[in-house]
Structure 1
C-alpha cells in the first residue's frame, strides 16, 4: 500500500526530506504523498521513514492503494532505474 497524509498534518516539514523517493510534497493545505512514488520505503529502509519522524502520527496506509511487498519492490526498481 502507498501511504497517505491525513488532515491531522501540522505542516511541520519533517517528513518531506526523509522520503527517499521524493513522494512527499507540500499540498494546498497539508503535505501530500504521490502514491505513484511511494514504496513505503521498500528497497531503501525496513520501515517507512516518514512515519518514523511524524510527530502527530498522521501517515497511515492508504486503503485505496493496496500493494504487496513484491509490487512495492517492483515500483522501487522502476523508480530507481529512471
Structure 2
C-alpha cells in the first residue's frame, strides 16, 4: 500500500470545505490505528479529522455540507482520485 500523508488544514482552508466523505483508513501505512475513521474534504481528499468509530465520522462529515453525498463512505482508490494520485 502507498504511504498515507496527513495534510493539516488551516482555519482559512477549513472555511472553504463544502462537504465531507468518510474513509476507514485501517491498514493504511501511517494511519492512526486508534482513530481509523477519517473525514475527508470531498473536493481534494485532505484529512479534516479522525474518529474511532464510523457514527462519529458520519456525523462530522454531514456537518460540513449537509448534502446527500456528505458522509458517503469511500475506498482507497477513491481517496487517491480525490488527491489527484490515480
User: Which structure: greater strand fraction?
Assistant: 2
Q: TM-score, normalization: structure 2?
A: 0.32
What TM-score do you get using the length of structure 1 for normalisation? 0.33
